[in-house]
Structure 1
């Protein structure tokens, strides 16, 4: 075997990996955020679950929705559902300090659901997950506590505006539909 052939064979797995990583995301589970505690927060860990992705803020008039999000998470977690909080300062109502955000969420609202670190959710700096969600569900968040419900398949997405409370009948019906594999109505 010639040197050129040997190099081509050795390089083939690297090229295949590069091509695979260049493929556009097909599901929400193909994205990774950074955890509020530090380190990767791969959404693949939620594969097969229904997921509520919410851009959050600690100093907003809608911040009390944290309580309802925690209740929603607790109510449906055993059935394969999770809330994922994504703090964002895109609307200038969040701390820039991850430790402060974590302490606030845990001590003020008893948050136990997973939280990402401070993340941009709109505009040219938006995290690719939020760009993907916006493209599938009517646009980017217009304010804090915008909610994206992702079906178990990772492809179905429905958005709920900030004003939709976590315990509203329309939202809980959609969560139940997602858990049952029905369309996100």
Structure 2
């Protein structure tokens, strides 16, 4: 099993297979527009703009699991665009923990269950996925996305 075995649904309702991103590094992040960490959208967008021509894609998954998100994915994505200038793909509202968790997040947690444990503790938990669809790193919510730069550079250099 790999990341490419999962589907996701964009904010506009379009469901697609993550295999559309084969050969590209990914940052997958659970987001919340009303969270104190929401300014991380700016750093995530900066990473996206810096590396998108080299194939990096940032995928934002709004979640109200921690009670800090708007009514639905479309409202969340619009707030991200207007407030933080987000241009990377945003998805429909999802759950990241529990029985109703989006299967993609269950997989991400399973693949990185080590030192950070399996449950996603807060918004802006970030997962770095390599060009082969393997989860290579999990970053804590408080980790500034720009601290991922060295790991992204290493992935791009290895390809």
Q: What's the TM-score, normalizing by structure 2?
A: 0.92
Q: 1:175 maps to which residue?
A: 152
The whole-number CA distance in structure 2 between the counterparts of 1:126 and 1:71 is 28
Shift of 1:81: 0.6
| Structure 1 counterpart SS, 2:106 | helix
Work out which of the residue numbers 114, 118, 123 in structure 1 matches 2:93.
118
The whole-number CA distance in structure 1 between the counterparts of 2:136 and 2:92 is 22
Q: 2:34 maps to which residue?
A: 59
Q: Gaps (5+ residues) in structure 1?
A: 1-25
Work out which of the residue numbers 102, 112, 136 in structure 2 matches 1:127.
102
Q: Which has the larger radius of gyration?
A: 1
The whole-number CA distance in structure 1 between the counterparts of 2:22 and 2:78 is 28
The whole-number CA distance in structure 2 between the counterparts of 1:59 and 1:172 is 26
Query: Relative contact order (C-alpha < 8 Å, sep 6+): which is higher?
Result: 2
The two structures, once aligned, show a CA RMSD in angstroms of 1.3
Q: 2:82 maps to which residue?
A: 107
The whole-number CA distance in structure 1 between the counterparts of 2:149 and 2:107 is 23
Contact preservation (8 Å) 1:70, 1:111: yes
Shift of 1:151: 0.7
Q: Once structures 1 and 2 are overlaid, which stretch shifts more, 95-104 or 33-42?
A: 95-104
Task: Check if 1:49 corresponds to 2:8.
Answer: no
- Superposed CA offset, 1:113-138 (max 9, x none): 01111011111111111111101112
Q: What's the TM-score, normalizing by structure 1?
A: 0.80
| Structure 1 counterpart SS, 2:8 | strand
